[in-house]
Amino acid sequence: MYYEKHSDSSSNPLLIQAARNLLARQREAERSDAVALARRVGINPDAWQADVLRSTERQVALLCSRQAGKSTVTSLLALHEALHRPGALVLLLSPSLRQSQELFLKVKQAYGALTGEIVQAREESALRMHFSNDARIVALPGKEATIRGFSGVDLLIIDEASRVSDELYQAVRPMLAVSGGRIVLLTTPAGKRGFFHTEWTEGGDEWQRVKITARECPRISSEWLEAERQRIGDWWYRQEYMCEFVETLDQVFSYDDIQRALDDPQVKPLFG
């Protein structure tokens, strides 16, 4: 009796070696280019996202519209740091634990989309991942008491940065002093106040600044934006979608008036 012999690719040593060689080439490309990791995850980044993924700047500020893709690109930065820097410590910080968990979930989803990854998640919970190369990604709430124990941070990502307190921001910056780590701020505006507004407007050349409005996002239609503007009103629209630092609704004096009063050499103090 004649039996047709079928080759089993799962046991073919040549095919197995070819797959290993392909993965090795992919990882080597990813080591110096996080865009390659994004594509292996199944994400084709926008041009600005690719620029952020390839950036080597130590301080990056992302002022982006809602749904522009800022959480996606920073989650990929976090995952890339963990997979390709053994022993790295990546912290995800935001005003609340729920928001930190949402960003962390994007990291976990990206990692779950990888196949054949040699760096394994040795420990995994709702708030942290510990990898086989001793790198860690930890999600934290915006409370000073919970973050002071960390040091030697390689990548610090602060989500909704315009809503994180100045005190917390000053408390986390020393974590980067010895490690020389990177910091990435991502947010929509929240008025002309707080450390993010100060860094964006007065931080000098030490920051790489990226501003992406809803009109620059290919996934948001102009028709939807116009309908949204009429629904939520001009004030909210300018802040949430056009990334403008508009005055807060309860502000008595405008930011510009206050700055002029402070900076005007013609204004003399009442007491001196």
- Distance in angstroms (rounded) separating the CA atoms of residues 186 and 62: 5
Range of the domain at 119: 27-248
Whether 169 maps to a domain, the answer reads yes
Residues 187, 62 contacting (CB under 8 angstroms): yes
Whether 136 maps to a domain, the answer reads yes
Whether 263 maps to a domain, the answer reads no
Whether 253 maps to a domain, the answer reads no
Angle at 97 between CA 92 and CA 98, to 5 degrees: 105
- The 10s digit of each residue's pLDDT in 136-176 is 999 998 777 767 778 899 999 999 999 999 999 999 999 99
The phi, psi pair for 202, rounded to 5°, reads -130, 5
Q: Which residues contact 148 (CB under 8 A, 6 or more apart)?
A: 171
pLDDT given at position 51: 98
- Distance in angstroms (rounded) separating the CA atoms of residues 86 and 103: 22
pTM, 2 dp:
0.83
Whether 190 maps to a domain, the answer reads yes
CA dihedral 36, 39, 44, 50 (to 10 degrees): -20
Whether 256 maps to a domain, the answer reads no
- The 10s digit of each residue's pLDDT in 117-134 is 889 999 999 899 999 999
Question: Burial code of 215-254, b = ≥16 C-beta within 10 A, e = fewer?
Answer: eebeebeeeebeebbeeeeeeebbbbbbbebbbeeeeeee
Q: CB neighbours (10 Å) of residue 93?
A: 26
**Token output for 76:** 């990929």
Whether 60 maps to a domain, the answer reads yes
Is a pLDDT exceeding 60 seen at residue 8? no
Structural domain count of the chain: 1
Distance (Å) of CA 101 to CA 35, 98, 106, 176 = 24, 5, 9, 22
H helices, E strands: number in the chain: 11, 8
162 by Cβ neighbours in 10 Å (0-12 / 13-18 / 19+) ranks as buried
Give me the CATH number covering residue 205: 3.40.50.300
How would residue 57 be classed by pLDDT, with cut points 50, 70 and 90?
A: very high
The answer for 250, left when phi > 0, alpha when psi is -120 to 50, beta otherwise, is alpha
Whether 6 maps to a domain, the answer reads no
How would residue 115 be classed by pLDDT, with cut points 50, 70 and 90?
A: confident
How would residue 190 be classed by pLDDT, with cut points 50, 70 and 90?
A: very high
Determine how β-strand 128-131 pairs with β-strand 136-140: antiparallel
Residue type, 113: A
- Distance in angstroms (rounded) separating the CA atoms of residues 50 and 45: 6
